[in-house]
Amino acid sequence: MLGRDLQDALAGREVTALGRADLDVTDASATRDAVAGHDVVINAAAYTKVDDAESHEDDAYAVNATGAANLASAASLAGARLVQVSTDYVFDGSATSPYAEDEPYGPISAYGRTKAAGERMALEANPGATFVVRTAWLYGAHGPNFAKTMLKLAESKDTWAVVDDQVGQPTWTGDLARQIVTMIDADAPAGIYHGTNGGQVSWYGFARAVLEEAGLDPERITTTDSSAFVRPAPRPAYSVLGHEAWNRAGVAPMRDWRDALRAASAEGVLDA
């Protein structure tokens, strides 16, 4: 989702877009060759199967940590800036107010541990030129996501339940892509940023909003809690990220999640 939207956000510029078949980020030599000659590298590659990572942590680490380190080292050699896309899962989700960019790591899952390691390694391998952009709850036009799943369920079910005890920030990949490009163009200082839409809502509230935007009855969705959906990897209960780094850099934070959803829906982003 993010890679495709980044290409759209960078339209008209000289861009090399590489998918998994084009570049294995765990191959240090291939990564150096691919990065050579570029001035900015955006790493939107990740092992994102959160539950699978619990039993395949080495595989997740290879992509999320070693891959990030390889790209950072290659960027350093090329004199390039690196944007390392990361996640709210580097935190434990026990907070009650938005996580600051400098909050200590506290991952509670294999996925979170490997992404936290990738952040550290990228920052160390390309110091002064690495931008960690943490994001969460992504939805967009290109690929499966929660919002599209809700609309699919609406086609086959009269009612269904969604958890109301996990809170976060639904984030449109189109907005995130444009924010990353704005950050690069603004020559913002390197460091950690939180790339999420503003505000906060539960998955239940987000699901209702998705149906509302589609002109469907949100009362079809009922509430439940996380105990009804036991999965291998624990999910952070609170995934709200603070946005002070944008203000310090002179870049406006991303808009409220509800405004973004309204705009994305109007553009047909959630259409099947």
Q: What is the DSSP letter of 25?
A: T
pLDDT of 272 reads 64
Domain assignment present for residue 75? The answer is yes
Of 61, 89, 111, 204, which is the active-site residue?
A: 111
Tell me if 158 is assigned to some domain. Answer: no
Contact partners, residue 131, CB within 8 Å, separation at least 6 = 81, 82, 83, 84, 183, 188, 190, 191, 192, 193
213 domain residue, yes or no: no
172 secondary structure, DSSP code: E
**Helices marked H in the chain:** 2-9, 28-35, 50-53, 57-61, 67-78, 110-125, 146-156, 173-185, 203-213, 244-249, 257-266
Residue 4 pLDDT grade (very low, low, confident, very high; cuts 50, 70, 90): very high
Count Cα neighbours of 245 within 13 Å in the Cβ-side half-sphere. 23
* Terminal Cα distance for the chain, rounded: 14
How much is the mean pLDDT over the chain? 97
In a domain, 110, yes or no: yes
103: left (phi over 0), alpha (psi -120 to 50) or beta: beta
Instruction: Summarize pLDDT for 64-113 with one digit per residue, the tens.
Output: 999 999 999 999 999 999 999 999 999 999 999 999 999 999 999 999 99
The CATH code of the domain that includes 56 is 3.40.50.720
Residues 6+ apart with CB under 8 A from 144: none
Active-site annotation holds for 111: yes
Mean pLDDT of 37-43: 98
- Report d(CA 115, CA 102) in Å as an integer: 15
pLDDT at position 229: 87
- Beta-carbon contacts of residue 185 (< 8 Å; ≥ 6 apart): none
Domain count, the chain: 1
Amino acid identity at 179: Q
Q: What is the dihedral of CA 79, 85, 89, 90, to 10 degrees?
A: 10
Tens of pLDDT along 202-243? 999 999 999 999 999 999 999 999 999 889 999 999 999 999
Place of tokens 């990738």: 118
- Domain-embedded: residue 215: no
Tokens of 72: 């950072």
Q: Which two tokens stand for residue 268?
A: 């047909």
Asked if residue 103 is part of any domain, the answer here is: yes
Over residues 134-193, the pLDDT tens digits come to: 999 999 999 899 999 999 999 999 999 999 999 999 999 999 999 999 999 999 999 999
- Per-residue CA distances from 200 to 9, 191, 248 (Å): 25, 24, 22
- Contacts (Cβ under 8 Å, ≥6 apart) of 166: 202, 203, 226, 235, 236, 237, 238, 239
Radius of gyration of the chain (CA): 18
State how beta strands 201-202 and 191-194 pair: unpaired
Within a domain: residue 39? yes
Q: Are 42 and 83 in contact (CB under 8 A)?
A: yes
Supply 30's token pair. Answer: 């291939």
In-domain check, residue 251: yes
Residue 34 lies in domain: 2-145+168-200+239-255
3-state SS assignment for residue 132 = strand
